[in-house]
């Protein structure tokens, strides 16, 4: 077997072993539970949630913001890594794109879960009004879904052709790969079109990703609410997305390396580099957090002080400090040391970053709603506070599991490490006389 063939065998998608099967089944069960809870919510109304007239957005929206955020570096990183043409990034790009794609699809879905009348979804298109930030969100999310699909798909074409050949024995699999490879033969013309398209999409995705995060921030900062009404929110959200995106990528990278024994491709060097990126992201985010929380503490009028007090020392203090220390300070302190950037410690930190980032979104959404301008009066006592109900947890878990399931399915059927590029970079590519695969 030639080196090239060995590489294909190594990188071609494989059937799941025991753990893979258990994992997938587990995810499917969680998704199904989520769907059941959602159907119940449709029937009974959103009464089954713990949202009420004061806390009118809860964990659905914070989860939505989380998905939007994590979709950011997955994609933007990919674009930057692609545009910089650094060879070391080859094994990471596709993983990043897969995460981005799964996350943005789920972002689109989760916002529907929050709607009181999902049956009227089409009104967004029939009666859409341009001045509403939600309309901007609808436009930008659909655009981003399309672009992340393209940036995932176009570079896949040569690999799909390779796989179509490789799976010759299994006709149906081979046929599918062949079908999706769009009759890729590797002719000069095809290469030209492909590389041009990748360039265009990679350039496009950067502004779109930035706008996406900013529009998401504007959902909040276009209101008068204390804690949301901030001109700092756009860059603040971008920086936060940078952090959680990097964290997400590292986590998935680590798991895939373990599961598929990709130590030859995803090396310690990759972890070291990603660790540095994460420190950098955290530092930038820290700066915006100081702007967002510490500065107002000096000049805030009474109502705002109350809001900040609740975060610093009040009801939400444990969560606030967990998120700030666990998601920002600790990663910085640990990852500035090279030892901290070894795969395992980095993986643990990255997981912590992802988890705290999820709660961070919760802290952005919920406490502000508990500090309206009018005093909270004339509503049942339970409306004065919020913690997600069982239905909400089930549905949110369902969406998270669904995102992981999409990633899992893509990983099952796509080469996570680009075969063609890797072969080319290692100089072991084999083509026929015309340079075709």
Partner 1 sequence: MKNKKGLIKQDSGRRKFLKMGIFASGAAVTAVGLNVFADDKTTGEKVKVMTTDGKTVEVDSGSLEKESCCNSHAVSNKEAREGMPGKKFVMVVDLSRCRNALKCQDSCNKNHFITGHNAWLKVYNMRESADTAPYWMPMMCQHCDEPACVTVCPVDATFKRRDGIVLIDNERCIGCRFCMAACPYSTRIFNWSEPDQKAAMEAVDHSPKYSPEHAGSPSIKGTVDKCDFCPHMTRQGKLPHCVSACPNDVFLYGDAYEDTVTNGSGQSYRLSKLLEDKAGYRYLDRLGTHPSVYYLPPAERSDDFVDGLENYTEFESVRKPE
Closer residue to partner 1, CB minimum distance, 381 or 434? 381
Tokens representing 121? 């979804």
Tokens representing 300? 């805030």
CA distance 340 to 332: 10
- The least CB distance from residue 387 to partner 1, in Å, is 16
- The least CB distance from residue 46 to partner 1, in Å, is 5
- The least CB distance from residue 157 to partner 1, in Å, is 37
Cα 412 to the center of its chain, rounded Å: 19
Name residues whose C-beta falls within 8 Å of residue 111's C-beta, 6 or more positions apart in sequence.
60, 61, 64, 137, 141
Angle at 16 between CA 13 and CA 21, to 5 degrees: 150
CA atoms within 13 A on the CB side of 127: 4
Closer residue to partner 1, CB minimum distance, 257 or 307? 307
The footprint of partner 1 (CB under 8 A) covers 44-47, 49, 51-54, 56-57, 114-118, 120-121, 123-124, 126-129, 131-135, 138, 219-220, 222-225, 369, 372-381, 383
**Do residues 376 and 384 lie in contact, with contact meaning Cβ atoms separated by under 8 Å?**
yes
Closer residue to partner 1, CB minimum distance, 138 or 402? 138
Closer residue to partner 1, CB minimum distance, 37 or 423? 37
- The least CB distance from residue 370 to partner 1, in Å, is 11
CA distance 277 to 243: 9
- The least CB distance from residue 233 to partner 1, in Å, is 14
Closer residue to partner 1, CB minimum distance, 51 or 414? 51
- Looking up tokens 């109304």 gives 45
Q: What count of other Cβ atoms lies within 10 Å of the Cβ of residue 331?
A: 29
Closer residue to partner 1, CB minimum distance, 52 or 270? 52
- The least CB distance from residue 51 to partner 1, in Å, is 8
CA distance 343 to 272: 8
Closer residue to partner 1, CB minimum distance, 118 or 338? 118
Q: What count of other Cβ atoms lies within 10 Å of the Cβ of residue 14?
A: 13
Tokens representing 309? 């007090």
- The least CB distance from residue 137 to partner 1, in Å, is 9
């Amino acid at each position: 077997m030639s080196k090239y063939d060995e590489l294909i065998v190594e990188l071609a998608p494989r059937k799941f072993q025991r753990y893979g099967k258990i994992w997938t089944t587990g995810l499917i069960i969680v998704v199904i539970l989520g769907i059941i809870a959602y159907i119940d919510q449709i029937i009974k109304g959103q009464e089954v949630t713990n949202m009420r007239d004061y806390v009118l957005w809860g964990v659905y929206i914070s989860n939505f913001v989380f998905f939007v955020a994590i979709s950011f570096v997955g994609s933007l990183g990919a674009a930057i890594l692609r545009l910089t043409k650094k060879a070391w990034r080859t094994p990471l790009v596709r993983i990043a794109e897969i995460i981005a794609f799964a996350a943005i699809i789920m972002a689109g879905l989760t916002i529907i879960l929050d709607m009181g009348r999902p049956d009227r979804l089409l009104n967004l298109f029939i009666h859409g009004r341009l001045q509403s930030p939600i309309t901007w969100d609808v436009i930008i999310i659909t655009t981003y879904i399309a672009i992340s699909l393209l940036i995932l798909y176009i570079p896949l074409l040569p690999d799909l052709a390779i796989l179509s050949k490789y799976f010759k024995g299994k006709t149906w699999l081979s046929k599918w790969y062949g079908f999706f490879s769009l009759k890729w033969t590797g002719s000069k013309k095809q290469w030209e079109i492909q590389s041009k398209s990748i360039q265009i999409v990679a350039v496009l995705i950067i502004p779109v990703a930035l706008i996406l995060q900013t529009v998401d921030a504007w959902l909040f900062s276009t209101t008068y609410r204390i804690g949301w009404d901030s001109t700092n929110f756009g860059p603040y959200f971008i920086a936060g997305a940078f952090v959680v995106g990097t964290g997400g990528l590292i986590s998935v990278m680590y798991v895939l390396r373990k599961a598929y024994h990709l130590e030859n491709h995803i090396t310690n060097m990759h972890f070291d580099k990603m660790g540095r990126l994460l420190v950098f992201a955290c530092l930038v985010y820290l700066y915006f957090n100081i702007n967002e929380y510490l500065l107002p503490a000096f000049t805030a009028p009474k109502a705002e002080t109350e809001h900040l007090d609740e975060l610093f020392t009040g009801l939400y203090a444990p969560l606030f400090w967990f998120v700030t220390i666990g998601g920002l300070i600790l990663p910085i302190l640990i990852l500035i040391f090279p030892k901290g950037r070894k795969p395992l410690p980095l993986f643990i930190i990255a997981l912590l970053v992802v988890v705290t980032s999820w709660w961070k979104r919760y802290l952005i959404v919920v406490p502000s709603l508990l500090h309206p301008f009018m005093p909270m009066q004339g509503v049942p006592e339970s409306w004065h506070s919020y913690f997600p109900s069982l239905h909400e947890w089930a549905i949110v878990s369902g969406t998270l599991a669904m995102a992981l399931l999409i990633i899992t399915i893509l990983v099952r059927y796509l080469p996570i490490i680009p075969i063609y590029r890797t072969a080319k970079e290692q100089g072991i590519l084999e083509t026929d006389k015309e340079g075709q695969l």
